[in-house]
């Protein structure tokens, strides 16, 4: 796990810092342009642009849905094999700057997640998920809302010593 960019409590141990150091060692000017980012404790691919023009092009392509994001997750509980869609709006919990929740239509931002159950076992299921929108914590909130939180997600489910983070990979 490595935070994408500096935040409170993570000023120097970030992807932005690592890339800035690497480019400086090579004598190459560098400004960090993250096109996407991942939630804390989510593993996977982060798309970084080398310059502001590339960042704008890639950011616009992502906004138009031309860059597809796919995640794999281990969820608590046994789900039925097949495909599904969770189309429920999400909004920030009023008292929190971090936590999100499902809400009624018109209250929050539209959020849609398509998923396919790849494998189902007695106490967990493995899914492939594609967020059609890009809301903060979208997959975590959506799966928790249907009674299948992501394994190890200590914000929307429960921590799990077997993994030490949420079982979510981009």
| Tokens matching residue 164 | 């030490």
Q: 113 φ, ψ to 5°?
A: -130, 125
Q: 68 φ, ψ to 5°?
A: -90, 135
Catalytic residue from among 13, 22, 39, 153: 39
Catalytic residue check, 39: yes
Alpha helices in 43-163 (DSSP H): 52-63, 138-145
Using alpha carbons, select from 49, 24, 38, 33 the residue that is nearest to residue 136.
38
| Tokens matching residue 109 | 């931002």
Which residues neighbour 152 within 8 Å (Cβ) at sequence distance 6 or greater? 41, 159, 160, 162, 163, 164, 165, 166, 167
- Beta strand 168-169 with 71-76 is antiparallel
Question: Which residues are catalytically annotated?
Answer: 39
């Amino acid at each position: 796990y490595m935070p994408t960019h500096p935040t409170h409590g993570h000023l120097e141990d970030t992807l932005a810092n690592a890339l800035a150091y690497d480019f400086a060692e090579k004598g190459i000017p560098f400004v960090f342009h993250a096109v996407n980012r991942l939630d804390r404790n989510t593993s996977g691919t982060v798309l970084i642009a080398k310059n502001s023009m590339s960042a704008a092009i890639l950011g616009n392509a992502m906004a138009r849905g031309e860059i597809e994001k796919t995640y794999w997750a281990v969820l608590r509980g046994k789900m039925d094999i097949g495909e599904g869609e969770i189309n429920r709006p999400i909004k920030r919990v009023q008292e929190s700057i971090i936590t999100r929740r499902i809400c009624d239509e018109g209250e929050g931002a539209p959020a849609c997640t398509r998923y396919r159950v790849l494998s189902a076992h007695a106490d967990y299921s493995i899914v492939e998920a594609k967020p059609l929108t890009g809301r903060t914590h979208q997959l975590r909130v959506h799966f928790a809302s249907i009674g299948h939180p992501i394994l190890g997600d200590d914000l929307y489910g429960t921590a799990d010593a077997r993994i030490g983070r949420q079982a979510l990979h981009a």
